[in-house]
Structure formats: C-alpha cells, structure tokens
Amino acid sequence: MYTSIALNPISSLVAILAVAYLVLSYVRSVISWRTRQRGRPLPPGPAPLPIIGNLLAIPETKKWLGFQDLFSKYGNIVYLNVLGNHVVAIGDADLARELLEKRSANTCDRPSSVVIPLIGNDVSFSVMPYGQWWRDHRRAFWQVFHPGAMRSYRDTERAFAHDFLRNLLASPGNIEKHSRYMFAGTMLKILYGLDVQKEEGELINTLHETVSCTTSVMIEKHAVDVFPALRHLPAWVPGAGFQRVFAECKAAVAYAKEMPFARMKAFLSGGELGGTSSALSVLLSRIDDTVDSREHAYAEDIVKNVGLVAFEAGADTSFSISQAIFVVISLHPEVLKKAQVELDTVVGPHRLPDFEDRDALVYINAIIKEALRWHVVTPLSVPHCTLEDDVFNGYFIPAGTTVLANVWAMLHDPAVYEDPEEFRPERFIRDGVLDPTVRDPYLFAFGYGRRICPGRHFADEALYITIASVLHVFDIGPPLDEGGQPIPIKYEQTDGLIT
C-alpha cells in the first residue's frame, strides 16, 4: 500500500526556483572562469580529488621537501587546488624573481586568513593585506631601519655581543638561553630603550612566549580555516577548544604590543632613559601633536605595531640563524680553524672584532652567507598573493592565488651549488675575495619585492658582530660525555614558518 503526498504548489515552485538558481549560478561561474582564463592553461600539477582538491599532496611537515618532489614531477612551477583555493609553488630562482620582484605590483598581497585576526596577529604588518594600512606601517618601519640608521645601533649590538661572550664563559652549556637573551635584549634596548637587567628578563620571557604561541598556531591546520563560521562558536561547545588557545594567544600578543611601549612612555615622561633615544621614541616624536585624537591614536598604534613586529622578526630570525651556525661549526672544526686564523690575522689577539673589520673578514662573511644558504630560516618564504589575473610563463595565474617560493630548493640547487648539503663557505670565495658570480643567499633569504624584510640590514649586522666575536675567543665543539669523549650530534631542521 502506498501513501501519496500532495506537494504544495508554492513549495514546489520555490524548490524549482532554488534548483534553477543553483544551476544558473554554476553556469555563470563556469562562463566567468572560462572568460577570464581565455583558454590559457593553469600551471601543471597533480590531479585534484573531489572537494579537497590537492590538500593531501602537501605534506604535514617540512613542506619544502614535499614541494621539491612535486617540482621533480611537474617542473619548477606547480599549481595546486587546495579546498577551492589557488596555490602556485615556484622552485626556480629566476622564475621567483620574475614573478615576485618584477611583478611585485601584482604579487604584493598576503593570503587572507581566518586564524590570524583571531590570535591578534593582524597587527603584524608582515601578514597584513596590501593597502594603505600596510603602507603606513612599512613607511614607519623604514624610517628607523633604513641602511643609514644602522650605525646608530652598533654600540648596542656590540655591547650585547660582548655580554654574550661573558655569559658563555660563565656557563657555556646554556648557549641557547644566552643567545635568545642577547638578541631579545638587543631588540628591547634598540626599540624601546629598555634595559634588560632592570626588567629582570620578564619582558624577554613574555615576548618569547608570544612569538612561540603565534608561530605554533599559524603553522597548524585548523578546522576554522576550512569552515570560517566556526569562529563564532563559544569555547564551551565540544570541538571549539581552539577558541581558548586563540584567546590566550591574542592576550599574549596584546600584552607584548602594549606593555613595553607603555614602559617606554613612562620612562620617557619621567626622564629615566637618560636622554637616549630609541627607535620607537624617534617615531613617537614625529607624530604631529596638532592632529585630532583619532589621527593621533592611529599614528601611535602604528608605532606600537612596528615595535611588536620588529621584535618578533629581529629576535627570532637572528636567533635561528646563529644557532644553526653554532651547530654546523661544532660539526666542522676545519671551518672554525680557518675562521680563527683569519680573525687572528685581521683583528689580532688584543681586541675583539668590530664593524670596521668586516670588509677584511672575507671568510667570516662567507660563513654567514653559507649559513643563510645551508639553513634556510624561511624555507617557503612568507606566502604572497596575487591581486589581479595574470599570465606568467605561458600559464594563467588567477587573482587571489597564493604564491609560495621554495627558497630552500633554490639555495640547495645542485646546478648552482656543488654538493649543496655540504657546509662549505669556500664556495663564496675566489682569489681571496667574495665571488660576485655565485648566487647570493641574501637575494632570497629575506623575501621579495615590496614584501622584502625591511629589517634585513639590522639582522645582518647583528649576526655579523655576534658570530665574529664568538669565533674569535671560543672553540665550539660537540658536548662531551662523562669520559670526555664527544657526543655525536645531528643537525635537523625544525618545522614551521621560521625554522
């Protein structure tokens, strides 16, 4: 026996119209896509799966190695569709410079992210979308970190490098702690004029926790990235525990942004900074006091954000590179010996290296270049995003495409660097001077185009004075066991945006 169900004519009409609307929308999107594409192919890549696309083609960890496998199959420009989002990965240095440097006007954006504002890191102009807000931050940052400003920071960099030597002498087993303290303390002094000893390390610990929190959250995959509506769920709902993590992270970012700035302003008003000027105090002094309160708050917020991003990038990146150098030199005593011979010749036994010695310290400069090549701090660079449709190398690159430059692949290209896995500073030297014909890691290690790291000059100088000073007075080797024998150590790159 069958039961018949009579459909309401109005309901039937609504259903028909809904289906018709969906079909029409699909047809229009297909026509629009084909009109934009004009028969031009997307770059080659693996066949996408239904719904998720090429999500599984990207490994969970050390993605730069996974992309290298894709380059070997499809060539040095690869297209992926990840949950409906366009992704293009570049594995060739010339292609990357063409797309991200010469066409920077179209590739200067950043991919949108649901997570970044939820953790409060949208105040970092390194991940801000391209626009006036970003330009204002970039302009402020450049005012205090352009190449001509570097000389004014050298006394502070030198002093912290020398403190680092004393700390190493007192407890050489704590090299990681001492390194982090040195770079973080340098940034706090230069940015805010704050003395680490007076602050008893509290700010350093807090700021380090902030960097660790934001970095760990940003490199993980979150359901809210796929289903943005989940961001509205309260933390007590099962499966929404990420809200608590995000809230903690956001609070840490707010503290790191506001607290050192507030202390600096308090010290400035009380005259406790001894008349010395810091980078942010210089920016504050340039704010026009005659503007209305809204404009003044806007300008002051930019200064706060500049301080936060400068600390995050400066302290963490310099720390990562220095640790890699210490590890690799402990594995290569011949590199240490050559460096010390050069330092003894140029600097001598009665003083420490200084900035004026740098041009004569060819091998030290080669060590830093090789470290940037061998240990790539940002293996996939920071993602770029296209603003408009483009045709590149014969391929269609849609607007809104995330562009990843596999810097690790470019700096480990055996066609450019013989035995790329070997740490060999000599590859950058010819006839006793740095060889300009060898691909310079500095062209890739700090990003591209309008998004190139504006603090690269500062990071370079801080790294130089630290490495030259340490190698001049210390031997570096693997740890020893109870019998005095070296304990074998193995270099392994950690995962993340900054490794």
* Helix locations, 227-278, DSSP H: 242-270
Taking residue 64's Cβ as centre, other Cβ atoms within 10 Å add up to: 23
- For CA atoms 209, 212, 215, 219, give the dihedral sign: negative
Q: What is the pLDDT of residue 212?
A: 75
347 φ/ψ angles, rounded to the nearest 5 degrees: -95, -40
- Contact present, 463 and 150 (Cβ < 8 Å): no
Q: What pairs with residue 86 in β-bridges? A: 81
Asked if 191 and 184 touch (Cβ cutoff 8 Å), the reply is no
Terminal CA-to-CA distance of the chain, rounded, Å?
Answer: 69
Assess contact for 63 and 405: CB atoms under 8 A: no
Q: Is residue 453 annotated as involved in ligand binding?
A: yes
What tokens appear for 341 in the block?
A: 């011979």
Pairing of strands 77-82, 85-90: antiparallel
Q: Which residues pair with 53 in a beta bridge?
A: 49, 82
Q: Is 17 helix (H, G, I), strand (E, B) or coil?
A: helix
Q: What is the pLDDT of residues 313-360, one digit of tens each?
A: 877 788 888 888 898 999 999 999 999 999 999 999 999 999 999 999
Vertex 268: Cα angle to 254 and 208 (nearest 5): 35
**Residue 411 DSSP class:** T
> C-alpha angle 396/401/404, rounded to 5°?
105
Q: Give the long-range contacts of residues 17-25, CB within 8 A, separation 24 or more.
A: none
Residues of the chain whose pLDDT is less than 70?
A: 1-15, 17-35, 37, 197-201, 219, 271-276, 494-499
Q: Enumerate residues 6+ apart whose C-beta is below 8 A from 34.
A: none
Predicted local confidence at residue 422, as pLDDT: 94
What is the token pair recorded at 486?
């070296």
Within 10 angstroms of residue 491's Cβ, the number of other Cβ atoms is 12
Q: What is the pLDDT of residue 215?
A: 72
> Is residue 367 within 8 Å of 340, Cβ to Cβ?
no
CA 317 to chain centre: 8
Collapsing DSSP to helix, strand or coil, 53 comes out as strand
Tell me how many degrees the CA angle 72-60-491 measures, rounded to the nearest 5. 80
Predicted pLDDT at 56: 85
Per-residue DSSP letter, 364: H
Give the chain's domains with CATH numbers: 39-473 (1.10.630.10)
Give the integer Cα–Cα distance in Å for 76 and 89: 8
pLDDT at 354: 97
The pTM (predicted TM-score) of the whole model is 0.87
